[in-house]
Chain A
Amino acid sequence: MIFTSRMTQLFAVVLQKDAERVTESLLGEGVMQFISTSEIGEPAQHAAPVCAGVQASLTEISDLRKRIEGLLHTAGVIPSPPSQMDLTRRAAVDLEKEKGLLARLDTERTTIRERQRELQQEILKLEDIRRQMVLYGAGLSDITASAPQSFIAMQTGKIAASSASRFEEGLREFPSVSIPVGRERDSVHYLLISMKRDAERVQRVLDGAGWVSIELPAELKSVKEDAFQELSAKLQTLADEQKKLETQADDLVKREVPHLREVWSHLRVSELLHRIQTHFTPVSRTMVFTGWLPAEKQARLTEAIRRASGGRCHLEWHEASGRDPLGDEVPVRLDNPRVLAPFQMLVSNFGVPRYGTIDPTPLVMPLYLAMFGLMFADVGQGLVLMSLGVLGLVLPRIRAAGRGWHQLSWLIVWCGLSSVFFGLLFGSFFGMAILKPLWFDFHGIVAGHRSEGSVVNSVFDILAITIYFGITVIGIGLLFNWVNIIRTGKWAELVFDKGGVLGAWMYAGGIYVAFYLVSHDYGQFPSRGRLLLLVGLPAILLLLKEPYHRWRREGEPSASRTNPVLAALNAMMHWVVELLEIFSGYLSNTLSFMRVAGLGIAHVCLMVSFFTLAEMTSGIASILLLVLGNILVIALEGLSAGIQALRLSYYEFFTKFFHGTGKLYTPISLDSEG
């Protein structure tokens, strides 16, 4: 847990006839991150290129799977990763048949969309007219006199009943409303509303249909008022038809969802199997493959491969160490208990630790929570945070949003818990110091009251606590750095690195000098001898860094011969700069932790302010003020504390030892993404 998981590399040779079964078992186990055999050296003498056929099949299967996935997404279905059962009962998919199905669905849906677009154009035309009617009036009092500024033209006339359909068809391309208002023998009377801008073209249609303009008989004039209603009714009919088409398009896919899900599952399994096989190299009648897996999975995978191949296999194992020259190439697995998952997320966000180095996750949890709690110590507000976190865990919308949100919700729960714990230590409940503090009275100190019998009596004591905390965190970071360096066997780095022995020596010396100075009221430094021993000596020894590296490089062919004077000046410059970096860096890193105290004090002060404001009012206003104040503090201070704790973890802690050069372990398994 404290280090990255031990990884081991497998070289395997199996018979080609067993390749299929071995592939299945590799996928079933899902623990192997494959390496292309070309990456590990010259191809074997009789090696054939990676099967082009396999690659081509993979591409075809992958494309089809993505198309089906896209289709399922349109139906609001997100397929789940295949299971072991899907692997064992998988069936071959007739790719051409499924492509045919997709093509049919696409064609049907395209037809529906085309019809929808046509309908939409109809709707827009009628809405055009309706807008004109609303804007300028339809001259409803007199059918022939629409408002002069209106763009609609209204006219009445009659056509032969036999020409009616041609008439209506001809008008389809224009925004128009034609309302049959009555029949007279074999003629149909119409009220026609169209746009003035289309007058010429409409007239051609009317002429073609044999339109005769007439005055409507008195008894039919009443329909003019119905024109608007008729228009609205037509629009409604079209809208209903649109809705039906929309449902039809949705149902088209939904009907096929069960079948598509099944096919997707088979394709996904097939795709993963093919993906594994792209890492196989055929050699004569065998298949060679290699990859990394966690050492603890070795026995199980060995058993699985032997079973699948009937014992006809040759397996070689090579465990990687941190000193491995391929250290950066070994994939890294962070193996932490589930409870640490939110904190592993914080670590992964920063980077992936190099293989063989320390995984700081187990320590990030207490450190992060301690910093958060110190900045946001309140039982009541902590409980609110916990509730919010729990809400995030149970609300379906947030659960469906992905693992990231799930982990964030857990993080909020933990932060809430820390807040409750520190709230108990400091005796704070929704900003009120009503609980008996188990450690010291934070509120009282901020308000200026001295607490008798307590070690912590003033704001400066609180600041001191955070300084001690910071020194501890930095010290742990340095320790981790040494462990990492020792595991990689870089002894020179252990001595000369900024986070190495000399750097730490100077830091420790600096701390001693600072505390000595403070304890002597800033009037006295330690003795010269002590100063020399604690700070001077490591600084002088650091001067050896450049000459040492130069000496190491002397034997190398690429080493250039430089002027010794210039080399000495160069070394001096490096030394001065490095000393400045060490002193200023460690000083700023340590003082940075004072923000923990600062934010904690600010938290208390904000609540005190709200209480003061509340005292100026009474009744419901007072309560409302306190509630709003708590909400504001939880939102602002909570966010601030979370961010600052993260900043301190990343910048003050991680930078001491963390090299995010690792590659994450991504085995091919049934859960694989992409």
Chain B
Amino acid sequence: MAGPLAKYSLVNAKLRARISKILPDRVFVQLARAPSLEAALAQLRETPFARLDEIYSATGDLRQAELELLRDEIDLYRGLKGHLHRESVELVDALLCQFEIDNLKNAIRVFFDRVVRGRPAEASAHYILYEPILHDIPMDIVVNAQGFDEIAGVCEGTPYSLIIRKYSHTAESEGSLFRLEIALDHFYYANLLSAIERLDRRDRAIAERLAGVRIDLQNVDWIIRLRSFYDLPMETVLAAIVPGGFNLSKAAISELYSAQNVTPILREFVKTRYPGLSALLSSQVSDSVSRLLLIRRIMEEIMRQEVQRILAGYPFTVGIIVAYFVLKKNELDRVRIVLNAHQQGLQPERIEGLI
């Protein structure tokens, strides 16, 4: 059985070099303060995101540029697989699954808008990745489908077929893809945790912890969205929560969603595991959405600390792969947020607040 050094030495060196190129916070502040979208893109010329500027200059289409970025990122992960041990390949496949699921969700949304809601969806259809990511799903058929059965049919042989069949009627009757999309996201995390289970003891502990923190952040993101935009009842919210969080159990989330004062709920694990974040707990906020945003901020800080812990620790573990995935996703998300905010004409101060 290969030892940690054999498994991770090369990928560790590769990914650490890539991590060193991840844009630091001050670059994002400068991007946010750029006077226009064009100026922000010009700042990215000397970074690994130079292609964004090239594509935008050539097409005027920011979404097109982002799609290219996504393609590059997926190619990177696929390229990484060639250097990995078998167990780690399964983990990377599980991580790649997120891109495939997001892509499938986008394609299903195009179909749904067109067929169920009767709305034109031409523009969105152009921003689907039609090439295979993990499974060879013909996205053309999904986009052009006339019914959910057709979509489930072309997804046969993939884990998504059953989910689509299960929730298609609900989607049609409710006129909303909410439950189907939640189910797909649940599958992603379940698949990820399952791949983590197959790692050796040390890698498993590291990956479980980071995945658990990621799940916490996802859950908080959801309850913010559900509270702000939908104001759903507790049962629906709890059904949407992904199990497997590291710091926040289902009970804790239920309390966070409804509590007036969230400090006591968070204090327990913040004090013991992340004492440096205690100062954030003392922030005074009044309304429920602001409370949830504060929780989100704390969760993001926790994620940052967990990643730093991994990077500062023993280098030859699966942690480097998961940490890179987290950091890179965070970077891509922030770049998208800043550029889209500029395109919408938001003020620099507001943009800084978003990132």
Name the distance in Å between B164's Cβ and chain A's nearest Cβ. 19
Is B276 among interface residues, defined by CB-CB distance under 8 A?
A: no
Beta-carbon nearest neighbor of B64 in chain A? A120
Do the beta carbons of B122 and A175 come within 8 Å of each other? yes
Beta-carbon nearest neighbor of B121 in chain A? A197
Name the distance in Å between A469's Cβ and chain B's nearest Cβ. 31
Contact of B59 among A117, A131, A195, A197 (CB under 8 A): A117
A and B contact pairs by CB, cutoff 8 A, 9 listed: A67-B39, A70-B39, A70-B42, A121-B123, A125-B122, A173-B122, A196-B144, A242-B58, A249-B57
Select the residue from A69, A74, A114, A246 with max chain B CB neighbours within 10 A. Answer: A74
Contact of B35 among A70, A119, A121 (CB under 8 A): A70
Name the distance in Å between B9's Cβ and chain A's nearest Cβ. 14
Is A317 among interface residues, defined by CB-CB distance under 8 A?
A: no
Is B195 among interface residues, defined by CB-CB distance under 8 A?
A: no
Select the residue from A67, A197, A201, A250 with max chain B CB neighbours within 10 A. Answer: A197
What 1/0 flags go to A226-270 for Cβ under 8 Å of B?
000000000000000011011001100000000000000000000
Is B28 among interface residues, defined by CB-CB distance under 8 A?
A: no
Do the beta carbons of B60 and A115 come within 8 Å of each other? yes
For the complex of A and B, the 10 pairs showing the least CB-CB separation, nearest first, are A70-B39, A116-B60, A73-B42, A124-B126, A113-B60, A67-B35, A70-B35, A120-B59, A120-B61, A117-B60
What 1/0 flags go to B64-77 for Cβ under 8 Å of A?
10000000000000
Do the beta carbons of B43 and A73 come within 8 Å of each other? yes
Is A614 among interface residues, defined by CB-CB distance under 8 A?
A: no
| A117-B60, A120-B61 given; A128·B126 CB < 8 A | yes
| A73-B39, A242-B59 given; A121·B140 CB < 8 A | no
What 1/0 flags go to B1-44 for Cβ under 8 Å of A?
00000000000000000000000000000000111101101110
CA distance A249 to B122 in the complex (A): 27
CA distance A55 to B333 in the complex (A): 36
Do the beta carbons of A174 and B39 come within 8 Å of each other? no
Is A106 among interface residues, defined by CB-CB distance under 8 A?
A: yes
Name the distance in Å between A70's Cβ and chain B's nearest Cβ. 3
CA distance A175 to B34 in the complex (A): 36
Residues of A within 8 A of B38 (CB): 70-71, 74, 109
A53-100 residues at the B interface, CB under 8 angstroms: 63, 66-67, 69-71, 73-74, 76
Is B51 among interface residues, defined by CB-CB distance under 8 A?
A: no
Residues of B within 8 A of A106 (CB): 36
Name the distance in Å between A193's Cβ and chain B's nearest Cβ. 15
Contact of B120 among A76, A173, A243, A249 (CB under 8 A): A173
Residues of A within 8 A of B39 (CB): 67, 69-71, 73-74
Residues of A within 8 A of B125 (CB): 128
Is B114 among interface residues, defined by CB-CB distance under 8 A?
A: yes
CA distance A174 to B35 in the complex (A): 36
Residues of A within 8 A of B36 (CB): 67, 70-71, 106
CA distance A218 to B41 in the complex (A): 54
Name the distance in Å between A124's Cβ and chain B's nearest Cβ. 4
Name the distance in Å between B65's Cβ and chain A's nearest Cβ. 11
Is A151 among interface residues, defined by CB-CB distance under 8 A?
A: yes
Contact of A195 among B33, B130, B144 (CB under 8 A): B144
CA distance A201 to B114 in the complex (A): 11
Q: Number of residues in B with C-beta < 8 Å to the partner?
A: 27
CA distance A113 to B35 in the complex (A): 17
Residues of B within 8 A of A125 (CB): 122, 126
Is A622 among interface residues, defined by CB-CB distance under 8 A?
A: no
B contacts with A: majority SS: helix
A contacts with B: majority SS: helix
Name the distance in Å between B322's Cβ and chain A's nearest Cβ. 27
Is A540 among interface residues, defined by CB-CB distance under 8 A?
A: no
| A67-B35, A70-B34, A132-B140 given; A116·B61 CB < 8 A | yes
Do the beta carbons of A131 and B60 come within 8 Å of each other? no
CA distance A106 to B35 in the complex (A): 11
B163-198 residues at the A interface, CB under 8 angstroms: none
Beta-carbon nearest neighbor of A73 in chain B? B42
Residues of B within 8 A of A74 (CB): 38-39, 41-42
Is A112 among interface residues, defined by CB-CB distance under 8 A?
A: yes
Beta-carbon nearest neighbor of A102 in chain B? B35
Name the distance in Å between A296's Cβ and chain B's nearest Cβ. 34
| A70-B39, A73-B43 given; A250·B57 CB < 8 A | yes
CA distance A243 to B166 in the complex (A): 48
Name the distance in Å between B288's Cβ and chain A's nearest Cβ. 36
| A73-B42, A73-B43, A131-B130 given; A114·B60 CB < 8 A | yes
Is A135 among interface residues, defined by CB-CB distance under 8 A?
A: yes
Beta-carbon nearest neighbor of B146 in chain A? A197
CA distance A119 to B58 in the complex (A): 11
Residues of B within 8 A of A117 (CB): 59-61
User: Can you add 4 more A-B contacts, CB < 8 Å, to A63-B35, A71-B38, A131-B130?
Assistant: A70-B39, A119-B60, A197-B114, A243-B58
CA distance A125 to B122 in the complex (A): 8
Residues of B within 8 A of A174 (CB): 122
Do the beta carbons of B126 and A121 come within 8 Å of each other? yes
Name the distance in Å between A143's Cβ and chain B's nearest Cβ. 21
Residues of A within 8 A of B34 (CB): 70
Name the distance in Å between A211's Cβ and chain B's nearest Cβ. 21
Beta-carbon nearest neighbor of A66 in chain B? B35
CA distance A174 to B122 in the complex (A): 7
Select the residue from A76, A114, A128 with max chain B CB neighbours within 10 A. Answer: A128
Name the distance in Å between A202's Cβ and chain B's nearest Cβ. 12
CA distance A201 to B115 in the complex (A): 12
Name the distance in Å between A250's Cβ and chain B's nearest Cβ. 7
